[in-house]
Structure 1
Amino acid sequence: MKFALHLLAACWLTFAAGAFAHPPRGIAVAPDGRVFFSDLERIWAIAPGKQPLVVRRSVGAHVHELFLDSGGHLWGEDSFYDPATARYRAGLWMIAPDGRFSYTYGPTGSPTFGAGVLRDRFGCSYLVGETRVRALLLHRLCPGGAPQLLSDRAAARDAEPPVLLSNIGGAAFGPDGSFFFRHRGIVQRLRAGDRLVTAAVGFAPENYGIAVDRAGALYVAEQANRRIVRVDARGRRSAPIGAEAPWAPTGVVASGGALYVLEVTDYARGAPTRLRVRRMLPNGQVQLLGTVTGG
């Protein structure tokens, strides 16, 4: 998509100059309490009671999105851009529970619609994008099958081939297997039978992370407003956790009754961007799990 091409190019060129024009939203929590997150160029892990450790360094690629499946496999995407040729490549990778790394798709300069990081219990992946006029595109790709268009078919006529293998906004699965995703200021939900409905509206028009807890409550990271917005199953809103300047949330995940938030600092010319992970317990207590300097 031309819009995605221009956006990705701007992000790469600005980041190369030392800025976080497009901070990562990738954060995932394992059943044993380990927290994984991306600083775009490195994947970090925080074990309970330990300091953050680098578990993977990308080579010339950015990692925007992370997903941990029920088998304990950590999934992510690599997005490559060569400014000399203005060409893009993208690949999907997986880190097994025993630490083995492998590419599961690509890297390729011609990604397939629907090839994405998040995957359901059947192994089907989802990719949310936009057309040239910014209409929604939602594809699903199941093992051994062809891409399935799940959004408006009329919009597909205006589609460009995909460039990124991460969703255009935050995405998450609900407790019933529904797929939630963010598209500008709206969060939509793909329900059983491929029925697409609006879950909630009125959020900051950003592309940052979302989460759904086991009770079906939705959490949306609003970087511009330095807060996480919660929308419960009855539509009631609250802001359970905020951040003080220069910090702002970009990623969020609900796990084990707790809320984990990935935050980055505002960009200041000449100053390194920092990232931190905080956890809010069910009683409202907020704990700092770790802080790192972006790579």
Structure 2
Amino acid sequence: MAKVNRQMLILYALLTLGQMHAHPSWGIVVDDNHNIYFADLFHHGVGSVWKLTANGELQLLLRDFHAHNVNLDADGNLITSNGEGLQYMVRISPAGHQDTLIQSNDYREFNGGNAAITPRGQIFFGAEKYLWRINEIQQKEKIGDFEFGWNQTVFADRDGNYYGPDIGGGIGRVIKINPDGMATVFADELITKFDRPWDPHFEVLLGMAEGCGGAIYIAEVAGKRIIRMTDHGEAETYYTAEGYWVPSGLTFHECDAYILEFEDHQGYHGPRIVRLTAEGGKSVVFDYDTYQRGQFPGIPAQEPRHRGDWLAIFGMAGMAILILTLVRYSRRRVIPRIS
């Protein structure tokens, strides 16, 4: 019995640690007043949503909220979804008023972890290998009949077309579904290949955006790059991140690109935001870790931690103590390997 209990405790510890930061968020948008909104899974419990004002003030909009994506509707409201536990989409007005647009306890009815709105305000999401939209009577309906192998993100352009990357098998392609439900392969063989088995958690395609000229862009994590795709089937590298930084998503505003990045080296760091101007300039607009140290110009130092943050810290400390205790105990008895 003691052996089984030790195995279960170690398995629980490994699973819990692995779930803390299994993947980055990819949502980022810029409004007409040059405020930047972005999702962040690395801070404040299961995640947070931030607003970086044009004056450099960082504001926490949502805490303990597991958001992958963010959008802006035609009225300048921020739209984002929680994808852990209760699946729900919220709308936050420029004045800060918040209301819920849709919610479900069943991700098959609404998947907050893979959801977005179209430029016309329609809610759609990916679940069970298909894309779905919410109709006028708040019911889901299938968008076409294309069956994805593995889809993690969704996007819609200004012409009413839907897009979903399909990383099934490690090939890496983007599927385009027109308003009538007709699916075509928009681009393929997008994932960088390595001399090793495909890693479905890191060798993926994430955030997408539409550029000023109508081209579609997507973040390719394994190659640390942003890919530019056209209707002619062309795909080329638009941007490659420096060092250990990895782009996970992007948006365009006034033809400038704003790229959301994280660092994957000795643990996750970030997020940070890189701006590429239409004239070819490049600058780091925001770096969360530098901001935490109070070294980022124009951005106030971090506010005192709140109760939820301290609980997260104590929880991780407790987990570390548990693992150390198990390691010490295992010196007297061999703990079978858990596969």
CA distance in 2, matches of 1:139, 1:68: 20
CA displacement 1:157-192 (0-9 Å, x = unmatched): xxxxxxxxxx94333222312122212111111213
- Paired position in structure 1 for 2:34: 33
Q: More displaced, 139-148 or 255-264?
A: 139-148
Unmatched 5+ stretches in structure 1: 1-9, 81-87, 131-135, 157-166
- Paired position in structure 1 for 2:5: none
Please give the residue correspondences for 1:91-240 in structure 2 after superposition, counting only pairs within 5 Å: 91-106=88-103, 108-111=104-107, 113=109, 117-120=115-118, 123-130=121-128, 136-152=129-145, 168-184=151-167, 185-204=172-191, 206-240=204-238
- Paired position in structure 2 for 1:163: none
CA distance in 1, matches of 2:100, 2:79: 10
CA distance in 2, matches of 1:268, 1:262: 19
Q: How well do the aligned residues superpose, as a CA RMSD in angstroms?
A: 2.8
What amino acid does structure 1 have at the position aligned with 2:49? I
- Kept in 1: contact 2:27–2:70 (CA 8 A): yes
Shift of 1:207: 4.1
CA distance in 2, matches of 1:125, 1:145: 10
How many correspondences in the alignment? 256
TM-score, normalisation: structure 2: 0.68
- Kept in 2: contact 1:115–1:125 (CA 8 A): no
Shift of 1:15: 3.9
CA distance in 1, matches of 2:210, 2:69: 16
What amino acid does structure 2 have at the position aligned with 1:290? F
- Kept in 1: contact 2:73–2:120 (CA 8 A): no
Shift of 1:102: 2.2
What amino acid does structure 1 have at the position aligned with 2:52? I
Task: Check if 1:48 corresponds to 2:54.
Answer: yes
Kindly tell me: are residues 121 and 26 of structure 1, through their superposed partners in 2, closer, same or farther at Cα, counting changes over 3 Å?
closer
CA displacement 1:38-78 (0-9 Å, x = unmatched): 112111122234143322223xx411111111111111111
Shift of 1:203: 1.4
- Kept in 2: contact 1:67–1:76 (CA 8 A): yes
More strand by share: 1
CA distance in 2, matches of 1:68, 1:273: 26
Report the 3-state secondary structure (helix = DSSP H, G, I; strand = E; otherwise coil) of the residue aligned with 2:152. Answer: coil
- Kept in 1: contact 2:187–2:234 (CA 8 A): no
What amino acid does structure 1 have at the position aligned with 2:31? A
Q: More displaced, 109-118 or 238-247?
A: 109-118
Report the 3-state secondary structure (helix = DSSP H, G, I; strand = E; otherwise coil) of the residue aligned with 1:152. Answer: coil
CA displacement 1:201-248 (0-9 Å, x = unmatched): 111251411112232211111111111111234333332221112210
Query: Which residue of the other structure, out of 278, 281, 299, is the alignment partner of 1:282?
Result: 278
TM-score, normalisation: structure 1: 0.77
Query: Which residue of the other structure, out of 266, 288, 292, is the alignment partner of 1:292?
Result: 288
- Between the aligned residues of both structures, percent identity stands at 22
- Paired position in structure 2 for 1:73: 77
